[in-house]
Amino acid sequence: MLNIVIFGAPGSGKGTQSERIVEKYGINHISTGDVLRAEIKNGTELGKTAKSYIDQGQLIPDALMVDILASVFDSFQDSKGVIFDGFPRTIPQAEALKVMLKERGQDISVMLDLDVPEDELMTRLIKRGKDSGRADDNEETIKKRLVVYNTQTSPLKEFYKGEGKYQHINGLGSMDGIFEEICKAVDTL
C-alpha cells in the first residue's frame, strides 16, 4: 500500500495537492481538519472538545486523534493506500501513527514536505479566510498556528529523515509544477 504523510505549515497547499494525489494514485484521503470540522459542525462531544483547542490555535490531544485516524483508516475497504493530511503534527503523533500502521501490517511510504516561506503562508491563509469564511483563518490565529507549527510540528522533518521517508517539495510555484515534483517523488517508491 502507498501510505503518504503530506506535510507543511498551514496554507502550504496540503489539501489542494492531496486531492490531486488521491485522483492520480487512487488512494484514500484522511484530512484531520475535515474530520474535525465535520464533528464540530455536527455538534458532537468530540467536536465541542476539538473546537475549544482549535479556537485557541492549539493541537488536539494525540490519543484522541490516533483513535479517530484508526477508525477512519479501518473503514477503507480494499484500499490502495492513504494520504494523511494534517497528521502527524508532533513526534509522539508520528510514533503513534507508526505503531497504529504496524499493527495493521502497514508503514508510511513517504513524507512529502511542502515548503513555503512564512510571508506567503500568511497571504494565502488570509485570502482563504476571506474566500471560505473559515474562522481560524484570521491574522491573530494564523500567527499562533505558525508558532505551534514551528515549535511542535517542524521537528517531524528530522524524524522522517531518520526513517528514510523524507522528501522535500518546493511549495512555491504553480499548482501543476508542485504536483509534478510530488509525482516524481511518489513514482520512485
Residues assigned a catalytic role: 14, 89, 128, 134, 145
Give me 29's grid cell. Answer: 484521503
Dist CA 11 CA 123 (whole Å): 9
Q: Is 88 known as a binding-site position?
A: yes
Give the chain's count of helices (H) and strands (E). 9, 5
Q: Is 93 annotated as a binding residue?
A: yes
Instruction: Say if residue 49 carries a ligand binding annotation.
Output: no
Any binding-site annotation on 134? Answer: yes
Confirm whether residue 56 is marked as ligand binding.
no
Does the annotation place 86 within a ligand binding site? yes
- Is 161 within any annotated ligand binding site? no
Q: Does 145 show up as a binding residue in the annotation? A: yes
In DSSP terms, which residues pair with 2 in a beta bridge?
81
Q: Where are the alpha helices (DSSP H) in 116-187?
A: 118-132, 139-148, 156-162, 175-187
12 annotated ligand-binding residue: yes
d(CA 28, CA 40) in angstroms, rounded, equals 22
**Binding residue per annotation — 188?**
no
Q: Dihedral, CA atoms, 56, 59, 61, 66, nearest 10 degrees?
A: 140
60 is in an annotated binding site: yes
Using CB atoms within 10 Å of the CB of residue 42, give its burial: 0 to 12 exposed, 13 to 18 middle, 19+ buried: exposed
H/E stretch holding 82 reads: strand 81-85
Q: Give me the phi and psi of 162, to 5 degrees please.
A: -65, -30
Give the residue numbers of the binding site for ATP.
11-16, 128, 173
Give the residue numbers of the binding site.
11-16, 32, 37, 58-60, 86-89, 93, 128, 134, 145, 173
Give the residue numbers of the binding site for AMP.
32, 37, 58-60, 86-89, 93, 134, 145
